[in-house]
Structure 1
Amino acid sequence: MGDKNLMENILLLEKGVCDLFLHGTIESSTSSVHQAFSTALHDSLGMQDTIYDMMAEKGWYPAEQAEQKKIDSVRQKFSSQQAN
């Protein structure tokens, strides 16, 4: 297994962990449990961000720059929906 494949797998696992911690935070029944899940979620999001940055730096997770025209179109669509 190459480094790129390994990093992709780690990133997918970390995203899954973030999802579990998010649901744990939302569904927690006490403030202490909520705080524990919330802290774990925050830490996991930081790890996910670090992994993403490492992959992007190596060109393994390319991101495309959105065209300004498309951004403006989406912004207009959602601002008109909020006005209604």
Structure 2
Amino acid sequence: MVPKTTELNERDLVNDLLATEKYMTGAYSTALNEASCENLYTDIATIFKETQDCQRNLYNMMFKNGWYALEQADQQKMQQSYTQFDGYKNQLPYGG
């Protein structure tokens, strides 16, 4: 049970950590794309993986505690999306 107060609670803190880890993985991804030195690239890739794993662990903790809920996907909407995006690959220059 999460208390409803104006003070930060455990869920708020973990949610903040999760948002920070998501931001950091995005920044590391950009750094990986722009790294020209192989040694630097390797170091950033290692840090990126550690950060991504931390983000995933925080997500799993939030999900386990009921703090991060997901809706079940509607099968018809899933099929429509698949059909739509499957059609896009025919528009690619290499022919899908």
Q: TM-score, normalised by structure 1?
A: 0.94
Q: How many residues align?
A: 84
Q: Which residue of the other structure, out of 42, 56, 62, is the alignment partner of 1:49?
A: 56
Percent of pairs with identical residues: 24
Tell me which residue corresponds to 1:40: 47
Higher-helix-fraction structure: 1
Q: Quick check: 1:24 aligned with 2:24?
A: no
Cα separation, 2, equivalents of 1:80 and 1:16: 32
| Structure 1: 5+ residue stretches without partners | none
- Tell which structure's C-alpha radius of gyration is larger: 2
Consecutive unaligned residues in structure 2, runs of 5 or more:
1-7, 92-96
RMSD of aligned alpha carbons: 0.9
Q: Deviations over 1:15-74 (max 9, x none)?
A: 111111111111101111111111111111110000000000111010111111111101
